[in-house]
Structure 1
Amino acid sequence: MRDGFVKVAAVSPKIAVADTTANGAMIRAYMKETVAEGAKIVVFPELCITGYTCADLFTQDLLLSKAYRQLHWIVEESEEYDAIFFVGVPMEIRGKLYNMAAAVSHGRLLGLVPKLHLPTYNEFYEGRNFQSGMMLSGYIEFDGYNVPVGTGLIFQCETMPKLRIAAELCEDLWVPNPPSVAHALGGANVIVNLSASDELTGKANYRRSLVAGQSARLLCAYVYASAGEGESTQDVVYSGHCMIAENGYLLAESKRFTESVIYSEIDINKLEEERRRMSTFQIEDTHMDIPFTLKKEETSLTRFIDPAPFVPSDEKRRAERCEEILMIQASGLKKRLAHTHAKTAVVGISGGLDSTLALLVTARAFDLLGRDRKDIIAITMPGFGTTDRTYENALSLIHSLGATLQEISIVDSVKQHFKDIGQSLTDYDVTYENGQARERTQILMDVANKTGGFVVGTGDLSELALGWATYNGDHMSMYAVNSSVPKTLVRHLVHYYAMTCGDDKLKQVLLDVLDTPVSPELLPPKDGKIAQKTEELVGPYELHDFFLYHMLRFGSSPKKILRLATIAFPDYEEAFIHKWLQNFYRRFFAQHFKRSCLPDGPKVGTVAVSPRGDLRMPSDALANIWMEELED
């Protein structure tokens, strides 16, 4: 349960229709098994004590009394286990029969949640046997104590107060206004669904979209357990489709048409942070809180921790994402070009990744405007650290895209500037580096003035997060097209363009750019090769993008990020990750003054650092408490 993680299980056992004794034994066996696997929340299917398909047998008093007896044994068995269980049972109250979800923990029946929406259409006829729980509330007596009954129940963990669970049953999810909406607005962040959904062609896809969509819309975890093996196949078949979703993502899904149990860990802290951030998510005081306890224990993580959270792992989705981002960038630049009546767009081309992407975006924006690419002035500005490889790639790229090439060496002007300020040409300090970067920016700005255009910025999100930009140097432009694109995604955008451009020469240039080490090339090369490799100085960008995503997107603490990173990057030693995480926090806080005055640029994803939108923090905020946690 550390860091807000709670392990959950969804079970679809092989039941025996109307054999409550066998079903009760099966449920208790799965209770033992799931708890042994570390599950703290365990969900069984609808009416699993009797079987969903008992039909008119539900009118038999013997079946109901035996089901009640099995519930008693299940409650008694739960005393041995540190978990909360949700079990489906028919329950007669004041002469009416209800389809119930029974919440059980530590030897007590905590509450009974009735099904509200009873399907009585097509193959369904629940209204024949059951009453809707819409108007049901109050208490019933069970084993000598009062048990709350009704839909407005939230089960809150006293030892983990952020964990708040509510239940709905099967059809309740499929209606226009599911009760889970009210549960979420009442504060529940885990919704369990005890279901018996029969299988039809194509229905699984729709069911999957419902579960994932509801978890996204309600900013919650959704644990769905459906009836399967053993249910009557007289007219329909049940597949035992179980799913665990969190905020729109399926964490686990069962193989259908088998007896199954699935597990995953849900991140309660992440869900709560999402709700805090969403000002339109309004909590209402509408539900009764039912307390229960769980021991505070370590939760081993088995869920997938994506090492590249900005980049879809699926090739098709990644291609779609790249095309969409390129269009967002180009459309933003198109609007700015049209609005300013710019005659030209000026881009500094180094032969590196970021400037390559900026030029590709600019070319697409000109195509969208129906303008000649010759009005793109692509300037290469060789200096003390420029290598033949990046220089040749810059020239080839500009020619391939049909832009207008200008080559302006900065060597003589920087030498004169260094002479003016007394800077030694052999002192490779920050002045030596930044003087070159600012000279290049001055050239770009002045050429833009001279040609009636504006400067297109090239810096990316990862560099802005780390402050890896020269203030009023490459930090500045008139429109920064890459400002919300992280470095790990820049690579994929350039690769996507290479593979889809239909130009073999351009493709080869882009692939060589991708193969070139990331470098600002501000120090003289060694034996003709790049001497200054960025990732040796600030750390691997794949780590920094991971840190940035979890810090800004979910507000995760340094310890939690370290824990997740050690799982996501098994090839790195924890000490290595820890070192660069410390560096990330130090730079992120110390360099915010650069982000406080960023030029305009299009937001393309959920994480951005624009001071006018996503990140409003003081430039003199201290990183002390974050660093202290890492030093602990």
Structure 2
Amino acid sequence: PFGVDLLFTDSKDMTFGVEICEDLWAVTPPSNHMANNGANLLFNLSASNELIGKHEYREELVRTQSGRCMAAYVYASAGVGESTTDTVFGGHAIISEYGSTLAQNERFSLESNLITADVDLERLRWLRLNESSYSDGRRKKTRIIKVGALPSISKLERDINPMPFVPSRYAEKKHRCDEIIHIQAHGLIKRMSHAHIKKAVIGISGGLDSTLALLSTHRAFQMMGWDVKNIIAVTMPGFGTTSRTKSNAIQLCEALGITLKTVDITDISLKEFEAIEHDKDEHSITYENVQARARTSILMNMANKEGGLVIGTGDLSEIALGWSTYNGDHMSMYALNSGIPKTLIQYVIEYYKCNESIADIIDDILDTPISPELLPHENNEIIQETESIVGPYELHDFFLYHFIKYGAKPKKIRFLASMAFAGKYNEETITKWLKLFLRRFFTQQFKRSCMPDGPKVGTISLSPRADWKMASDADVEIWLKELS
């Protein structure tokens, strides 16, 4: 049979269609209709000749068509040996998936060559389920031809990026960081302008999250020509605060020229312990949460007094894990970091080192262990390191990305993580932290259901008003069983 209405399917994961040469150049390529009717793998057999610069345009066409169709696109052109008369062929071969080129060959080879790439059809199916633009396409009548099922695989050819939120190419750093900062800053500018608020109030600890929130708030004020003295940074030392983090917080505020206030929460917390009859020497969750809520209460009340907006500092990774105190650091008036995961926060903060006046401070902040500093320190050293409790953030961000972005099931996430972190984490370690991630992600949804507004920065958001709708009492057990 012939025709652009033919689709070949294994009735499980794969459905493919074939178009010819300049079909791809058409205003409405046949592959559009094939994709609308379920084809997730598109082939093009072509006789596209070589002209100066044409191969770049051809690769862009293939890549963008794979993105538009939410599919994989496999392109193969006539080889050098088929050149004739005034026409020269280069044998260009390309494999693209959802807007990214996975593989392409060296043109003008006198020998036959073959390129291969791994294509994730499950990922493409999930994208189509979640992208509303895909369901808008009109479907046409097609003829279906059954083919054999694809074989299962045990290893991949393609590289799996262990840091999917972070740009892999250094050349992208300035552009990507500028974009993130602008999204944060302009989101805050709009909120403050709309509410006719002139001051921002932010708790500053000397840690990663509060540092980025402060720097982005400062950038917003600079963009608008607002007086940075109207940024009120509050450092609130408690039982676990070390001189290192407190010093970094103070030095950063002084370098930025903002207003700095210090409110020691030790006495406030002791009075709260006494009020609820909690032993101050019992270092339980209650001991920690009393301090977290004391800090939030101070910030809210200070904002009330000053007519300011409380800037939230919690990041996307913490929101996913529920690593916050309900109605404590969980709450703010604008959650500036809520769209940025921890691994990306570290990346953006490092970008601010271009400001030489704060470069050394940032270096030390980046070098400081991640900690809420809620348990008493020992000899002025942090004893409560977050990643020793909940696991490495680089793993959790990897889990989050593949779980939310592509709907990967636990077994697949573990398989991909084993590839991405080969030599760093073994399967047992990955399974341990993946189970913790899933358990916390499901049990902590109630916090996300009432989280404050914050700017969506990347393709993943856990805001109940944006992309994430989930019941607070969803059952995690079926997901954990996959890892047994």
Question: TM class, shorter-chain normalised?
Answer: over 0.9
Comparing both chains, which one has the higher relative contact order based on Cα–Cα distances under 8 Å and sequence gaps of 6 or more? 2
The DSSP-based 3-state class of the residue aligned with 1:262 is coil
**SS at structure 2 position matched to 1:413:** helix
| Mapped partners of 1:364, 1:298: distance in 2 | 49
Instruction: Within 5 Å, give how 1:125-524 maps onto structure 2.
Output: 148-158=1-11, 161-232=12-83, 234-258=85-109, 259-282=112-135, 284-294=139-149, 296-298=151-153, 300-499=155-354, 501=355, 504-524=356-376
Tell me the secondary structure at the aligned position of residue 133 of structure 2.
Answer: coil
Q: 2:78 is aligned with what amino acid? A: A
**In 2, distance between residues paired with 1:333 and 1:295?**
49
Q: Determine which structure has the larger strand proportion and give its number.
A: 1
**Are positions 1:526 and 2:381 aligned together?**
no
- Aligned-pair distance for 1:192? 0.4
Check conservation: 2:33, 2:140, Cα contact below 8 A: no
Indicate conservation of the 8 Å contact 1:190/1:220, yes or no: yes
In 2: Cα distance, 1:229 partner to 1:409 partner: 76
Which secondary structure state, in structure 2, belongs to the residue aligned with residue 511 of structure 1?
helix
Q: What is the identity, as a one-letter code, of the residue corresponding to 1:435?
A: V
> Which residue in 1 is equivalent to 2:388?
536
CA distance in 1, matches of 2:201, 2:84: 70
Identity %: 53
Cα deviation for residue 225 of structure 1 reads 1.1
Corresponding position of 2:420: 568
- Aligned to 1:264, the other structure's residue is in SS state coil
The one-character-per-residue Cα deviations of 1:355-378 (angstroms, maximum 9, x if unpaired) are 000001110111122101000000
Following TM superposition, the consecutive aligned residue runs of length 4 or more in structure 1 with deviations greater than 4 angstroms are: none
Aligned pair partner of 1:591 in 427, 444, 449: 444
Partner residue of 2:401? 549
Which of 599, 602, 614 matches 2:467? 614
Where do residues 98-117 of structure 1 align in structure 2 (5 Å cutoff)? none
> Given that residues 163 and 189 in structure 1 are in contact (C-alpha distance below 8 angstroms), is that contact kept between their aligned partners in structure 2?
yes
In 1, Cα distance between equivalents of 2:113 and 2:205: 56
Counterpart amino acid of 1:242? Answer: A
Alpha-carbon offset, residue 275 of structure 1: 0.8
CA distance in 2, matches of 1:531, 1:155: 60
* Whole-angstrom distance in 2 between the partners of 1:319 and 1:288: 49
Following the alignment from structure 1 to structure 2, what is the Cα–Cα distance between the partners of residues 209 and 587? Answer: 41
1:299 is displaced (CA, Å) by 5.0
Structure number with greater Rg is 1
Choose 209-218 or 295-304, whichever is displaced more: 295-304
Distance of aligned partners of 1:172 and 1:431 in 2 relative to their CA distance in 1, 3 Å threshold: same
Question: What's the CA shift for 1:519?
Answer: 0.6
Distance in 2, matches of 1:544 and 1:261, equals 37
- Give the secondary structure class of the aligned counterpart of 1:459: coil
User: Secondary structure in 2 aligned to 1:428?
Assistant: coil
Query: One-letter code of the match for 1:522?
Result: L
DSSP-derived class of the 1:322 partner? helix
- TM-score calculated relative to the size of structure 1: 0.75
Q: Distance in 2 between matches of 1:382 and 1:626?
A: 40
Indicate the SS of the match to 1:225. Answer: strand
* Separation in 2, partners of 1:458, 1:338: 20
The answer to whether the Cα contact below 8 Å between 1:306 and 1:568 also exists between their aligned partners in 2 is: yes
- Verify the 8 A CA contact 2:314 2:330 in the aligned structure 1: yes
Distance 1:395 1:412 in 2: 21
| Corresponding residue number in structure 2 for 1:78 | none
Alignment of 1:605 onto 2:458: yes
Letter in 1 for 2:441: F
Alpha-carbon offset, residue 186 of structure 1:
1.6
TM-score (norm 2): 0.97
Report the equivalent of 1:51. none
Unaligned runs of 5+ in 2: none
Provide the C-alpha distance between the structure 2 equivalents of 1:241 and 1:377, rounded to a whole number of angstroms.
Answer: 59
Q: State how far apart, in whole Å, the 1-side matches of 2:106 and 2:167 are.
A: 24
Q: State the Cα distance separating 1:559 from its structure 2 match.
A: 0.2
Contact preservation (8 Å) 1:212, 1:246 = yes
Question: What is the distance in 1 between the residues matched to 2:80 and 2:389?
Answer: 58
Residues in 2 aligned to 1:560 and 1:291: alpha-carbon distance in whole angstroms: 27
Letter in 2 for 1:438: R
Aligned CA distance change for structure 1 residues 438 and 612 (closer, same or farther; 3 Å) = same
Q: CA deviation at 1:152?
A: 0.6
Partner-residue secondary structure (3-state), 2:229: helix
Q: Which amino acid aligns with 1:624?
A: E
Per the TM alignment, residue 222 of structure 1 is displaced from its structure 2 partner at its CA by 0.3
What is the deviation of 1:343? 2.6
Task: Report if the CA contact (8 A) 1:334-1:368 is conserved.
Answer: no
How far apart, CA to CA, are the structure 1 residues paired with 2:480 and 2:152?
Answer: 26
In 1, Cα distance between equivalents of 2:229 and 2:218: 10
| Offset of residue 231 of structure 1 | 2.1
Amino acid in structure 2 at the alignment position of 1:378: A
For 2:199 and 2:66, the matched residues in 1 are separated by 47
Structure 1 counterpart of 2:351, one-letter code? Y
| 1:432 aligned partner, one-letter code | Y
Q: Distance in 1 between matches of 2:144 and 2:418?
A: 37
The equivalent residue for 1:115 is none
Q: Which amino acid aligns with 1:521?
A: E
In 1, are the aligned partners of 2:104 and 2:115 still within 8 Å (CA)?
yes
Cα offset for 1:167?
0.4
**2:31 partner SS:** helix
Q: What is the CA RMSD across the aligned residues, in angstroms?
A: 1.2
Candidates 578, 582, 587, aligned match of 2:435: 582
Q: CA deviation at 1:269?
A: 0.9
Per-residue CA distance 1:577-601 (angstroms, 9 max, x = gap): 0000000000000011000000000
Residues 467-500 of structure 1 show CA distances to partners (whole Å, capped at 9, x for unaligned) of 000001110000001001000000011011113x
- The answer as to whether partners of 2:10 and 2:148 remain within 8 angstroms in 1 is yes
Distance 1:308 1:228 in 2: 38
Q: Distance in 2 between matches of 1:592 and 1:380?
A: 29
Please list the CA deviations of residues 535-586 of structure 1 after superposition, one character each: whole Å capped at 9, or x if unmatched.
Answer: 0000000000000011111111000000000000011111000000000000
